[in-house]
Amino acid sequence: MSAIPADAIPRLARGVKLREDAARGRWVVLAPERMFVPDEIALEVLRLLDGARSLDAVVEELAARFAAPREEIAADVAELLADLAARGIVTT
Amino acid sequence: MTPIDPPLGLLAELTHRCPLRCPYCSNPLELSRAAAELDTETWARVFREAAALGVLQLHLSGGEPTVRRDLPDLVRHAEQAGLYTNLITSGVMTDAARFDALMQAGLDHVQLSVQDAEEASADRIGGYAGGHARKLAFAALARAAGLPLTLNAVVHRQNLDRLPALIDLALDLGAQRLEVAHVQYYGWALANRDALLPSLAQLQAATATVEAARARLRGRLVIDYVVPDYHAKRPKACMGGWGRMVLAVSPAGRILPCHAAESLPGLTFPNVRDTSLREAWERAEAFTRFRGTAWMPEPCRSCDRREQDWGGCRCQAFALTGDAAATDPACALSPHHALLDLAVAEAAEAGEAFTYREIGRAPARA
Ligand code: SF4
Ligand code: SF4
């Protein structure tokens, strides 16, 4: 798993979509021949991947929103995104 | 009654028309003609109903879905309804302009079928000269556009030995996934079973090939592979269980628990022209008939795997035993399991000639 640089702009990979699943009261990530239900934290992060925000900006936003120490958030988000990238869900 | 979970997927069989003539085609023997097909507006409504019901993934299939001139419009309607769109195509009818129209419409993923890795054999199996070359051109369009591509290879005795070459082909074409699907023997495939059933030795070699390739290509290519029924001890959970995960709509609008279900006797299927998908899913007898476990005979009824494989495939049970409510003969616990070994032995003695799939040319039923 390689780390995503702080100034990179992570976004959903081609063919991957974040969708509200209203019938089941949740959000889902849809991808070719598969889908998964992100947990609360992953969902917060995925919703911030708008194709414009850098990893740094995502961390900034979350740190402000949750009034949490920046380093802690940065480490969690980096780990999460590296995992999603390894699974082909996120690219930079 | 407990509430029924909504379906995750809709298989939209837009047409039965197809320039190819694969002898294992999963379409019914009685193929619908163009005049019977649903129009654009009706499909658009079906997609909206599906999304409202809880469907997330839409599989646009056929026949050959690109035969429909309105396919880009259909993709757009599906996209607007919020569905994830997957096109299942033979790729032989889509030039660069048509491909571009599909991309503009918001297509999410394409699943391209190939009949073999070797051109002459591929064109013979598909019954369509020049088809293989066109498929390669289609894959190049998908790759250039960055559209995620799954290569789908239906395998059987006459192409299974080239599985390593099929895996190389998937890599060459830039596919992210390869689906190696063994033929399911009902409908056209049952009529061609003697020419298609692989031997046990062939199958074991194929399984070893897949396992080695999976290890070697981790992170580059995902390979989907399921051991076929005729050499298995337990059946597959067909469609993830009857009326549990997906529903299908036929070209003429019939709402089905499985694309092959029209072959089953004694079931009447509701039609989207007069019944909503929700009504069909939740209440139609065709859906409740084999849903869950209450309908099961022994040995399924008291088996601890009954909520894993749901008793297997109803269409295969009917095709082989004449009783749609029987335990799938693919199960070693079925009293009819010996039929499968018999079929394998018979096929080993048989020739390679096909009965090709053609509209209005249904073979006599066995
Ligand atoms: S299996 Fe072959 S004949 Fe049947 S719809 Fe697909 S490409 Fe056409
Ligand atoms: S007896 Fe029925 S439930 Fe049990 S494994 Fe066989 S098919 Fe599945």
Q: Which ligand is nearest to the CA of B337?
A: 2
Ligand 1: residue of B27, B59, B110, B151 to mutate (most ligand atoms within 8 A of CB) is: B27
Q: What is the pLDDT of residue B139?
A: 98
B119, B150 contact by CB (below 8 A): no
A14, A23, A32: residue with CB nearest B177 = A32
- Cα separations (Å) of B157 from A14, B125, B183, B340? 36, 11, 10, 16
Pairing of strands A26-31, A34-36: antiparallel
Is A32 at the interface with chain B, CB within 8 A? yes
Q: Which ligand is nearest to the CA of B134?
A: 1
What CA–CA distance (Å, rounded) separates B75 from B163?
32
Say whether B108 and A32 touch across the interface (CB within 8 A). yes
Bigger pLDDT: B348 vs B223 = B223
Tell me phi and psi for residue B174, to 5 degrees: 80, 25
- Top residue of B58, B60, B108 to mutate, by most chain A CBs within 10 Å, is B108
Does residue B269 have a pLDDT over 70?
A: yes
Give the pocket of ligand 2 (CB within 6 Å). Answer: B 234-235, 299-300, 303, 305-306, 309, 311-312, 327-328, 331, 333
Sorting pLDDT into bands at 50, 70 and 90, what band is B366?
very low
Query: To the nearest whole angstrom, how far is the Cα of B85 from the nearest Cα of chain A?
Result: 9
Does residue A33 have a pLDDT over 90?
A: no
Single pTM value for the model:
0.92
Residue identifier of the C-alpha nearest atom 6 of ligand 2: B331
Does residue B230 have a pLDDT over 80?
A: no
Q: What are the residue ranges spanned by the domains of chain A?
A: 14-91
Q: Which ligand is nearest to the CA of B232?
A: 2
Pairing of strands B149-155, B177-182: parallel
List chain B residues with CB under 8 Å of A24: 6, 54
Task: Indicate the average pLDDT of chain B.
Answer: 92
- Chain-centroid distance of CA B259 in Å reads 8
Ligand 2: residue of B290, B293, B306 to mutate (most ligand atoms within 8 A of CB) is: B306
Q: Does domain A14-91 have CATH number 3.90.1300.10?
A: no
What CA–CA distance (Å, rounded) separates B187 from B207?
26
Is A25 at the interface with chain B, CB within 8 A? no
Nearest C-alpha in B relative to A89: B148
What CA–CA distance (Å, rounded) separates B18 from B357?
10
Bigger pLDDT: A68 vs A18 = A18
Bigger pLDDT: B146 vs B260 = B146
Residues A35-81 pLDDT 10s: 999 999 899 999 999 989 999 999 999 999 888 889 999 999 999 99
Q: What is the 3-state secondary structure (H, E, C) of B80-137?
A: HHCCEEEEEECCCCCCHHHHHHHHHHCCCEEEEEECCCCHHHHHHHHCCCCHHHHHHH
Mean pLDDT of B240-247: 92
Sorting pLDDT into bands at 50, 70 and 90, what band is B285?
very high
B54, B86, B108: residue with CB nearest A24 = B54
Kindly state the percentage of chain B with pLDDT values over 70.
99
Q: What is the pLDDT of residue A1?
A: 53
B6, B86, B177: residue with CB nearest A23 = B6
Bigger pLDDT: B226 vs B309 = B309
CA of B50 to the centre of ligand 2 (A): 31
What CA–CA distance (Å, rounded) separates B86 from B88?
6
Question: How many pairs of residues across A and B have Cβ atoms under 8 Å apart?
Answer: 44
Kindly state the percentage of chain B with pLDDT values over 90.
71
Mean pLDDT of B125-137: 97
Sorting pLDDT into bands at 50, 70 and 90, what band is B2?
low
Which of B1-10, B122-131, B163-172, B278-287 has the weakest average pLDDT?
Answer: B1-10
Say whether B150 and A32 touch across the interface (CB within 8 A). yes
Does residue B161 have a pLDDT over 60?
A: yes
Nearest C-alpha in B relative to A30: B84
Which of B74-88, B118-132, B255-269 has the weakest average pLDDT?
Answer: B255-269
Does residue B284 have a pLDDT over 70?
A: yes
CA of A92 to the centre of ligand 2 (A): 46
Is A23 at the interface with chain B, CB within 8 A? yes
Does residue B134 have a pLDDT over 90?
A: yes
Residues B326-353 pLDDT 10s: 999 889 999 999 888 888 888 888 888 8
Q: Which ligand is nearest to the CA of B330?
A: 2
Paired tokens of A1: 């798993």
Exposed e or buried b for every residue in B194-217, given b needs 16+ CB within 10 A? bbbbbeeebbebbeebbeebeeee
Q: What is the pLDDT of residue B80?
A: 97
CA of B86 to the centre of ligand 1 (A): 16
CA of B181 to the centre of ligand 2 (A): 22
Helix (H) or strand (E) holding B45: helix B40-53
